[in-house]
Amino acid sequence: MVDMTTPLKRVRGLGSARSGTDHFWKQRLTALANVPLVIFFIVLFISMAGENYETVLDRLSSPVVAIVFILMIASVAYHMRLGMQVIIEDYIHGEPQRVLLLIANTFFSLIVAAASIFAILKISFGG
């Protein structure tokens, strides 16, 4: 069998979906970033169990905690968007429905991230 693939296409590694492994690597990279970020989040909240409101607010308003939380929210929201995109592309077969769901997925992820980041900033700046 003769390979009809052009050298440029072989170098780029693009498949029939025209996206190659780019989506795969983005999903793996965000998953890797989520591990330490989510562990930090869980450890912080476990350490605050039983503390009073002022202590919890003081810890959450720390700049380091706020930055780590914002990074976590951005990474988790993007990872969520990528994962749902794969599910939509694999299981929704009608083109109009797929496009609408992909748009809704993007907006939903952005709204979740924006609302979460707003809450973190509000706590951090004492609003």
- Which positions ≥6 away from 127 have C-beta within 8 Å? 121
More confident call, 20 vs 76: 76
- Tell whether 109 is covered by a domain: yes
- Which positions ≥6 away from 37 have C-beta within 8 Å? 68, 71, 72, 75, 76
Amino acid identity for residue 9 in this structure: K
State the Cα–Cα distance between residues 72 and 37, nearest whole angstrom.
Answer: 5
pLDDT value at residue 21: 85
CATH code (residue 98): 1.20.1300.10
- Tell whether 4 is covered by a domain: no
Are 68 and 40 in contact, with CB atoms under 8 Å apart?
Answer: yes
- Tell whether 33 is covered by a domain: yes
Number of domains in the chain: 1
More confident call, 30 vs 12: 30
- Tell whether 14 is covered by a domain: no
Domain containing 103 equals 19-124
Distances (CA, A) of 121 to 27, 34, 63, 92: 27, 20, 10, 37
- Which positions ≥6 away from 89 have C-beta within 8 Å? 98, 102
Q: Percent of the chain scored above 90 by pLDDT?
A: 80
Q: Model confidence at 126, in pLDDT bands (50, 70, 90)?
A: confident
pTM: 0.81
What value does the mean pLDDT of the chain take?
Answer: 90
